Amino acid sequence: MTDPRPLHRLSAFELAPQLAAGSLTSVKLVQHLLERIEKYNPKLKAVLALLPDALEQAAALDEERSSGRVRGPLHGLPILIKDNVDVDKMPTTAGSKALEHSVPFGDAFLVARLKAAGLVILGKTNLSEFAHFIALNSRNGLSAKGGQTLNPYGEKLDVGGSSSGSGAGVAAGFAPLSIGTETSGSILSPSSQNALVGVKTTLGLVSRRGILPIAHSQDVAGPMTRTVRDAALLLSAIAAPDPADEVTLGQPAGLDFLEHLHPNALEGVRLGVPRLTFWNKLSPNQVQLMEWTLERLKSLGATLVDPADFEDAEHLESMSFDVLVYEFKYDLERYLSTLPDGGPRTLRDLLDLYAQNPAWVGDDGFTLLLAAQGTRGDLSELAYHYTRARDLERAKGGLDALLETHKLDALVIPAHWAATVGAKAGYPSVCLPLGFADGAPFGFTFTGRAFSEPKLLGYAYALEQNLNLTLEPDLEALMGGTGK
């Protein structure tokens, strides 16, 4: 029986059987989504650019299917890619007009993986300019190239950043799947604020080759979807060792991101609740939703260690941008050196373009770029090595100690409040929507040890199945200017 819901509300897992049965084609699905993007994106500004051959990609994949070749469970499904990830023959702008003609030589490693799995690359999404590494006070979802991305649940709501378009695009039904990137909160934040499942991956699980960088010690890419199963399917497609990204060569073999997706995955699991520094950010309504969720976890068989606080809790959220400032110039210039001639080759080149075009950034300025330019660019400064070691001691050391002391399988944290800790440690998190608090979507994060994504996805799946939420934004209200 065909699902009566419109195509844009179905998950990838729900669309796949229709494609397999022949009741739906990839061309029909892509055409439906393109029409939806044409109607709503001028207001939402989630999609920065569409691939001109999306329908041709879909037709070729339909032809493969009809001839008996199916590449995998995601064959023929469309996906949106954050525009700091290289896609062949498309500019990688990071939302910057300074890079609007910066066309890489080919696909990022993860994009090549997506194509090999049979996905249709539908378009590239808007983001906070330079993935939020342009100025400390820059706005979530704003770029000179793409404008201001809106939250589909209300234009006055924060859309989150920096993977703003990837979050808003899936929430709005522009695609069932998207890729975001995170250096510190940039997948988890827009996932929580757009009622999505987001996976901030372990550093070394997904190749960074072909991603415009901020900092190699923290940069990761991961799925942003509406369901946990979709996130697991997408992660299965992109997680792989890449000989050109050495950190990925240390990942465990045989990771199965689907194996723990069952309703009793929380039975016997020990979860820590670090309340210090994280709970005090919550409004009364958010506290109520969190406490209700903790009771749900217990009802599903989890043992809560509550509280299970970090020994150095007061300093965790005060960890600085210093490591990012030092690594940005070094990493960015290595990336720029791989591009065809004609565009910026150095951070100094970029700064000159911004100085010549002050309207690109307005009052926000480009203070973080200036700070990065003040470094040597070779990571030789003692201050860099000291700060990186201190960050690892506080974040990785703090997480390891907390998990080991209380024999915990994972931590449970409101929204994305502990994103900095997981980011600096290089550890994974899975964000899951809980519903609404104070009129806005609100999420919940499981954080665990390195490469524990299969188990974290299982915990999230068990809770998701129990909550059984149906969340959908009212885009007609948004278009009419009556959104919250």
Residue 1 pLDDT exceeds 60: no
pLDDT band at 342 (very low <50, low <70, confident <90, very high): confident
pLDDT of residue 319: 72
Phi, psi of 19 (to 5 degrees): -65, -40
Phi, psi of 260 (to 5 degrees): -100, 10
pLDDT of residue 235: 98
Omega into 162 within 30° of 0, i.e. cis? yes
What domains sit in the chain, N to C, each tagged with a CATH number? 7-320+388-479 (3.90.1300.10)
Active-site annotation holds for 43:
no
Active-site annotation holds for 329:
no
pLDDT band at 3 (very low <50, low <70, confident <90, very high): confident
pLDDT of residue 224: 99
Residue 298 pLDDT exceeds 60: yes
User: 327 and 333 in contact (C-beta within 8 Å)?
Assistant: no
Residue 318 pLDDT exceeds 70: no
Strands 429-437 and 440-447: antiparallel
pLDDT of residue 481: 75
pLDDT band at 312 (very low <50, low <70, confident <90, very high): confident
Residue 330 pLDDT exceeds 60: yes
Residue 249 pLDDT exceeds 90: yes
- Tokens at 346, concatenated: 């150095």
The answer for residues whose C-beta is within 8 angstroms of residue 78's C-beta and 6 or more apart is 26, 29, 30, 33, 54, 58, 119, 120, 121, 122, 175, 176, 177
> Out of 82, 97, 124, 329, which one is annotated catalytic?
82
> Out of 26, 128, 162, 236, which one is annotated catalytic?
162
468 or 321, greater pLDDT: 468
Residue 134 pLDDT exceeds 80: yes
pLDDT digit string (tens) for 6-24? 999 999 999 999 999 999 9
Question: What is the per-residue DSSP string for 147-175?
Answer: EEPPPTT-TTS---SSSHHHHHHHHTTS-
Active-site annotation holds for 162:
yes
Residue 483 pLDDT exceeds 60: no
pLDDT band at 341 (very low <50, low <70, confident <90, very high): confident
Q: What percent of the chain has pLDDT over 70?
A: 99
pLDDT band at 482 (very low <50, low <70, confident <90, very high): low
Q: Sheet of 220-225: strands edge to edge?
A: 47-50, 120-125, 78-82, 177-182, 220-225, 197-200, 429-437, 440-447, 410-414, 270-272, 303-305
pLDDT digit string (tens) for 359-406? 998 788 899 999 999 999 999 999 999 999 999 999 999 999 999 999
Residue 188 pLDDT exceeds 90: yes
Count CB-CB contacts under 10 A for residue 450.
19
> Out of 96, 102, 186, 207, which one is annotated catalytic?
186
Residue 208 pLDDT exceeds 70: yes
Computed over every residue of the chain, the mean pLDDT equals 96
